[in-house]
Structure 1
């Protein structure tokens, strides 16, 4: 019986450039090599090489639109793995004012794969709990349930169909690392 070769994924994730690329893709959008190059300050051929490896390992996916190729996270497992590993990773120290400013902006508000994160995300979650729209599970698992009044709130106030969201592959209504 063949066992999975976990070292392949670990090798891919051990490279800072690939982690940076995955981090950019965590907002759930698709980007071209040129866009990722602008974000990372890496050379275009280097970004292309890393994206090729990530795509071969099925961590990213690529779609062609006209002459452009757009890369995105390929599944729901990649961000979950990324978030899980982040829980056990040391925080990188700030080395410059520019880096400090960027971290400060990200701390306030950002998207994290498919949800709002940062201080804004925490405030929204706290509001939803205080208004009894969502309630945490009793087991400290980081999973929340939408209350009956919450379902009405999402449907009427925000025009969000909760039942459709529950059918998606991604876990529904979970805590973020923030």
Structure 2
């Protein structure tokens, strides 16, 4: 008999294919209905409800009633971090159709990792800010410098230390934590990036291309096509 945490039960909860698809869909930080999550997992309404009940009971997601609907979200940022780490150690899945290839390319290019920007653009931003002297890589943290605080304030981004989050597709860290959330907030509210309607991919707008190139010094910003 052991008092160790029940890792097997947690792993089983996450790795069931339909639940894994739902959790991946929730990694964009938004709330989704059972119908939407069932569609993302390609299961019927009753099956989706059963899976969501298990995820709620397992404290991986939470549900918020709003009018006639109930919206499901990840329980918190710690769950998102665990899922990203899980993805990092997972074997990449080969796209089977042209549509899957485009969707995979969009996710790898730029996506939301719960509340911060990830993918090629997220990693490029982290590298550019280190190169500019805006942040210092003090693993596992990114510390904002005085010069960085001024530069970020000019872009409408509140200075706050960030946390290094290993990017599963780039295999290098992007900026998470308070600074990562601030960058994502500014990018969305300033229309530098736009959300993909049915996924967590982000598309860089022309205004965002300008900010990435001129303000941050990021050159590789083209959208996946």
TM value normalised by structure 2: 0.68
Aligned residue number for residue 27 of structure 1: 28
CA contact (8 A) 2:21 2:40 kept: no
1:26 match: secondary structure = helix
Q: Deviations over 1:100-123 (max 9, x none)?
A: 111112122111111111222122
The unaligned stretches of length 5 or more in structure 2 are 171-225
1:173 — aligned with what?
163
**Counterparts of 2:4 and 2:43 in 1: how far apart (Å)?**
35
Return the match for 2:151 from 150, 153, 157: 153
Asked whether the 8 Å contact 1:143–1:175 carries over to 2, the reply is no
Cα RMSD, aligned residues only: 1.9
Distance in structure 1 (CA, Å) of the matches to 2:25 and 2:6: 26
Structure 1 ranges of 4+ moved more than 6 A: none
TM-score (structure 1 length as normaliser): 0.84
Q: Where is the strand percentage greater, Structure 1 or Structure 2?
A: 2
| Unaligned stretches of 5+ residues in structure 1 | 167-171
Residues 111-130 of structure 1 mapped to structure 2, 5 A cutoff: 111-130=112-131
CA contact (8 A) 2:134 2:147 kept: yes
Q: Would you say how many aligned residue pairs link Structure 1 and Structure 2?
A: 167
Per-residue deviation, residues 45-68 of structure 1 (Å, max 9, x unmatched): 222111110000100000101111
